[in-house]
Chains A and B, each alone.
Chain A
Amino acid sequence: MKSNSGARVVAKVEPTLAHRISTKLYSKPKLRLQLLLSAPVTWLGLVYIAALLALLVTAFFTVDSFTGNLTPGFSLENFASLFTNSLYSTVTFRTIGIALAVTVVDVLLALPIAFYMAKVASPRARGVLVISILMPLWASYLVKAYAWRSLLSNVGIFAWLLRPIGLDTPGYSLLGAGITLGYLWLPYVILPIYASLEKVPSNLLEASSDLGAKTWPTLRRIVFPLILPGIVAGSIFSFSLTLGDYITINIVGGANQMLGNLVYSNVGVANNLPMAAAIALVPVLIMFGYLSAVRRTGALDNL
């Protein structure tokens, strides 16, 4: 500033519009918060909640079976067939079964890996491990599923490894789909368990050992209660992702179908959006039940 009475010059400068708005907002913290949140709340309200509501409403519509045109109205027909047709209960229980199996296997695999990463590995090795666990997440889901399609194939690595010892590749089957899903969601299970294990101070393990507890009692009484929220958080991922899957089962599941396939078939093949909506509410309800059950463990803070 050229002037030698700088302070007075500054004082005379007309405040810019932005400056005045800032000043105004500074004195009104509530308004500030409203402005900040309006965009995301609108998004959440219109796009997210409204989409779910539309799903619920659509489930009561019907479809003209020949022309495929949607008939709005209120009909419980879709829900009735959901309960009376054995197809839907069979597929629902199969889907829940796969989701549970994938979750249990993933948690059992994730626990030792996460424990090694958080408590045993050197900081350098830990970094490498975290990156190598995150790395598959950068690859497309489809590419990984198709990679498993060739691994599980008649001439794939499973057949090559297992045939000499009298076994065979699981092939394109429920087991094949379970293995592939387990692979796909494993990082989502390892990471929250790793994060919760990392938060367990090492000196708690030392204290337990110091007080006379061998490895297993330490794991059971100290480590497990502290990482339970992380395990539940990981299981939410693997369970819900499996529940909604329809692509993997299509690629490596052979002739089997899951709930997602029924939804897809009803939209794509049958052009029956209301039925698809009614089926889609099944996993929504299952997850709602599961989430309310685990809310009390504090797992939701670990997501």
Chain B
Amino acid sequence: MRITATVKLLAIGSAAMLALSGCASSNNGGDMLQSLGDNEKTVSLLGWPGYAEDGSTDPAYDWVTPFEKESGCNVTFKPYGTSDEAITLFKTGDYDAIAASGDATLRLIAAGDVQPLNTALIPNYAGVYEFLKNRDFNTVDGKTYGVPHGYGANLLMYNTDVVKPAPTSWSVVFDGASAYKGKVTAYDSPIYIADAALYLMKHNTDLGITNPYALDETQLAAAVTLLKAQKENVGEYWSDYLKSIQSFTTGDSVVGTTWQVIKNYTPAEAHVEAILPSEGATGWSDSWMISSKAKSPNCAYAWLNYIDSPKANAAATEYFGEAPATPDACQYGSADFCATYNAGDTEFEKQIWYWTTPIEKCLDGRTDVKCTDYAAWTQAWLEIKG
């Protein structure tokens, strides 16, 4: 085991060094394309599992083959498990496009790994929900770097047999968590600090948090204290959604943060319910972005346009379990598809704080202080887990 770990480290190390030598010169990702040429023969994509299905997992789910026929671009797709793994892989320069969550996009933009997009070359972009456009996780200095794939919230799931009365607030996993000691679960990532920050934003207004992704030192310390107290009651953290489904099914977890897709796949006899608590929730809106070193930029543009077409977008987002990026997709999924994921529900959407990479320059507009960046959050997260 030590050997594999070492080889892996070495591989990643040399990959990182390659990436370093490759991208040292450009820092803004270059200029955007003004017009498209002929499609290349292949396109290489990186995304969350289930974002580009070609029927090999289940023949019933295939939205890649129609694209290949239509565009002549042969697709190779590599799924990743966490945002951080995505960044490491994308830095190798082997991928033309990536579907990245908000906690990764800014890092890719800042490192010059992705190029600004000419949305005029993506006709289907016009049909995308307006509230997903020009957000701080896909747009920098007025330049659009990503087109939306779909979005969802990090909901609160609980076991209706055990957790009584039915919770309406995140307090059940923070201040009130000791009632379910050892059975509380939380998402295993530094970005989960934002969930605590959101809670503090609503319940501890003295701290002055206005954006859970813009925390100064004091605010981060408060969030860390809250999470350390929570840890005493956490049974386990999850990053693999199958592991979370299993814990809720066996009753090892009874309350904690979840995704709609987990709720959907947890057996009915496990008696779980998922709600959007009164404080609102963190969430994610994933963006397709094109590599600044793309070998097949025309095919990549074609894919970005295709994935926002109503039919393909419906297929991809319903398969993964999230709301589509375009209202027109609702005609294509199953009958209650858009209702299940609250697609287009602006009241619901307004309460979602989409994952955004925390950076030194405060995202809430403060200029008098420096905010804590993602590296600080990572270090804090390791200490919380202890």
Contact = CB atoms under 8 A, between A and B. Distances in A.
Specify which of A48, A240, A268 lies most central, judged by the most chain B CB atoms within 10 Å of its CB: A268
B277 interface: no
B85 A268 contact: yes
A150 B250 contact: yes
Interface of B: 1-3, 5-10, 12-13, 16-17, 19-20, 23, 82, 84-85, 87-88, 91, 107, 110-112, 182, 189-190, 231, 234-237, 243, 246-247, 250-252, 359-360, 373-376, 378-379, 381-383, 385-386
Interface string A219-244: 00000000000000000000011001
B1 A241 contact: yes
Given A70-B20, A270-B379, 8 more contacts: A51-B10, A54-B10, A58-B13, A66-B111, A66-B360, A68-B87, A70-B13, A283-B2
A68 B10 CA distance: 16
A254 B5 contact: no
Contacts of B359: 66
A276 B382 CA distance: 12
B277 to A, nearest CB: 22
Given A87-B386, A154-B252, A255-B235, A69 B84 contact: no
Nearest to A264: B5
A237 B243 CA distance: 29
Interface string A258-297: 0011110111111111001100100110000000000000
A262 B91 CA distance: 22
Contact of B236 (A72, A244, A245, A255): A255
A55 interface: yes
Nearest to A47: B7
A153 B19 CA distance: 43
A254 B373 contact: no
Interface in A64-104: 65-70, 72, 85, 87, 90-91
A187 interface: no
B1 A70 contact: no
Nearest to B243: A251
Contacts, number: 142
Given A66-B374, A263-B5, A255 B234 contact: yes
A298 interface: no
Contacts of B12: 267, 273
A172 B235 contact: yes
16 contacts: A51-B3, A55-B10, A65-B374, A66-B374, A66-B375, A68-B87, A69-B23, A85-B383, A87-B382, A90-B386, A153-B252, A154-B252, A254-B236, A255-B231, A267-B88, A269-B189
Specify which of A48, A245, A254, A276 lies most central, judged by the most chain B CB atoms within 10 Å of its CB: A254
A52 B13 CA distance: 12
Nearest to A90: B386
Contacts of A149: 246
A68 B20 contact: no
A280 B12 CA distance: 14
Nearest to A88: B382
B9 A271 contact: no
Contacts of A70: 13, 16-17, 19-20
Nearest to B189: A269
A137 interface: no
A273 B20 CA distance: 13
A65 B373 contact: yes
A65 B17 CA distance: 15
Specify which of B3, B5, B235 lies most central, judged by the most chain A CB atoms within 10 Å of its CB: B5
Contacts of A67: 107, 110-112
Given A67-B111, A257-B386, A270-B379, A245 B91 contact: no
A147 interface: no
Specify which of B189, B231, B379 lies most central, judged by the most chain A CB atoms within 10 Å of its CB: B379
A268 B88 contact: yes
A232 to B, nearest CB: 19
B247 to A, nearest CB: 8
Contacts of A255: 231, 234-237, 385
B340 to A, nearest CB: 28
A136 interface: no
A217 interface: no
A91 B386 contact: yes
Contacts of B110: 66-67
A171 interface: yes
A155 B161 CA distance: 15
Nearest to B376: A65
A270 B60 CA distance: 37
